Amino acid sequence: MSGTPPRLSLDGLTKSYGTHRAVDAVTLDLQPGEFFCLLGPSGCGKSTLLRMIAGFERPSAGRIQLGDQDLTGLPPHRRPVNMMFQSYALFPHMSVARNIGYGLRGLDKTAATARVSDLLRLVRLEGFGDRRPETLSGGQRQRVALARALAREPKLLLLDEPLGALDRGLREETQGELRAVQRRLGTAFVVVTHDPEEAMMLADRIGVMEAGRLVQVGPPSELYRRPANRYVAGLLGDVNLIPGRLDPGEAGGIRTVETAYGPVRGIVASAMADGAPVVVAVRPEDLVIGASGLPATVAETTFLGDRLRRTLRLPDGSILRASGRPTDDIPAGSQIHVGFAAETAAILPA
């Protein structure tokens, strides 16, 4: 694609169905050539947001801008945007080449044939042009659908759960291929997914949605290490939440929280008043078993190949989960202490 890729801007984008707001005043700027993931559970509004960008849903309020073009009132066929669906929607009676070239009708035949050949190379399906979709694997069909979606060189590609129909092993393989294709093209991709691992594998940035709102946007590492709230922390992976109250008398950065097990320290994730009820969020891999810290009992140990997952019971009966090396031999029933470095913990609103 020639020229500088355009920037997508959403300004107060809203979609209401009667009194229900499926998407609530979403404002977002996507960088040119960015791989962006919308992450959240079913019903959070992420697919509705994607369909408004594509033109299949009309916004109740707000604006959609792609570069210097206002897309808000344009029908789908007049937008330089394409959308790839989870079902792939391939034509079973057509060959792979004809499926890819379906959107190129009206182009010179020689140019269309050359474009299809380029796309087959892009998605590593050279030699498959004469095959029918039913003879292909799930991952190969996904690549055919991707090539067809890219045939007319859209300025923005939208993908709604594109890997949802694939089994786990094939999903992981295809994630890498999808990322590689996006990098080679430099086209901005917006992917909807409910799978946090998929979002972290694919995305330059992730936008987490809850009840129609965009609650946090950032690179995967930032959302994982510095979630804005408990919802984001739990969505991005397993997390321990230790309740307490924020101590007064310290400036920002690392603060102390008084808990039932004594003071613990972490990084404040948002502005909170002294004495406010909070939780200290710690990932299982950041818990360290040693000579100091919170007293606990090893309740259960589970072998997971490259790591051990331990269930630790605190004196009041609450549970922490810790990940460690599979060579660490601490049997169930052991009395231990568990701690963590302050910089690995985030203090979040309760």
Q: Is residue 1 part of a domain?
A: no
Residue 3 maps to a domain: no
What is the structure's pLDDT at 234?
Answer: 96
Q: Are residues 32 and 161 in the same domain?
A: yes
Mean pLDDT comparison of 251-255, 302-306, 336-340, highest-scoring range: 336-340
Report helix, strand and coil shares of the chain as percent, to nearest 5.
Answer: 25, 35, 40
Separation CA 60–CA 338 (nearest Å): 51
**Residue 24 pLDDT greater than 90, yes or no:** yes
Q: Are residues 178 and 213 in the same domain?
A: yes
Judgement on whether residues 73 and 141 belong to the same structural domain of the protein: yes
pLDDT in tens, 113-147: 999 999 999 888 999 999 999 999 888 888 899 89
Q: So what's the pLDDT on residue 1?
A: 43
- Considering the domain architecture, whether residues 333 and 208 belong to the same structural domain is answered as no
- The answer to whether position 319 is within a domain reads yes
Range of 121's domain?
A: 8-230
Structure token digits, residue 146: 């991707």
Where among 230, 252, 274 does a domain terminate? 230
Does any domain span residue 182? Answer: yes
Q: Which amino acid, one-letter code, is at 317?
A: G
The pLDDT value given to residue 103: 79
pLDDT at 40 over 60: yes
pLDDT digits (tens, 9 = 90+) for 60-70: 999 999 999 99
Q: What's the mean pLDDT in 150-156?
A: 91
Domain final residue pick, 166, 201, 230: 230
Provide the domain count of the chain.
2
pLDDT classification of 163: cutoffs 50, 70, 90? confident
Specify whether 135 is located in the same domain as 225.
yes
At 307-334, the pLDDT tens digits run 889 999 998 899 999 998 776 778 889 9
CB burial string 181-193: b at 16+ within 10 A, e below = bbeebebbbbbbb
Assess if residue 93 is contained within a domain: yes
- Confirm whether 204 is domain-assigned: yes
> Is 151 found in the same domain as 267?
no
The whole-number pLDDT of residue 205 equals 98
Angle at 158 between CA 194 and CA 110, to 5 degrees: 140
Backbone phi and psi for residue 320, each to the nearest 5 degrees, phi listed first: -120, 150
**CB–CB of 191/159 below 8 Å?**
yes
Judge whether residue 165 has pLDDT over 70. Answer: no
Q: pLDDT by residue (tens digit) across 49-106? A: 999 999 999 999 999 999 999 999 999 999 999 998 877 788 999 999 999 998 787 7
**What is the radius of gyration, based on Cα positions, of the chain?**
24
Query: What's the pLDDT tens digit per position in 174-184?
Result: 788 888 889 98
Q: Is residue 332 part of a domain?
A: yes
CATH number at residue 342: 2.40.50.140
In a domain, 2, yes or no: no
Asked whether residue 226 falls in the same domain as residue 243, the answer is no
Report percent pLDDT > 90 for the chain. 63
pTM here is 0.89
Say if residue 40 is in the same domain as residue 149: yes
Is it the case that residue 169 has pLDDT exceeding 50? yes
pLDDT of res. 308: 86
For residue 200, give the CATH number of its domain.
Answer: 3.40.50.300
Last residue of a domain, one of 230, 249, 275: 230
Closest Cα to residue 275, out of 257, 294, 288, 292? 257
What is the arithmetic mean of pLDDT over 192-202?
93
Q: Within this chain, do residues 49 and 155 fall inside the same structural domain, yes or no?
A: yes
Confidence label for 250 from pLDDT (cuts 50, 70 and 90):
low
Shared domain check, 308 and 223: no
225/248 same-domain check: no
> Do 183 and 35 share a structural domain?
yes
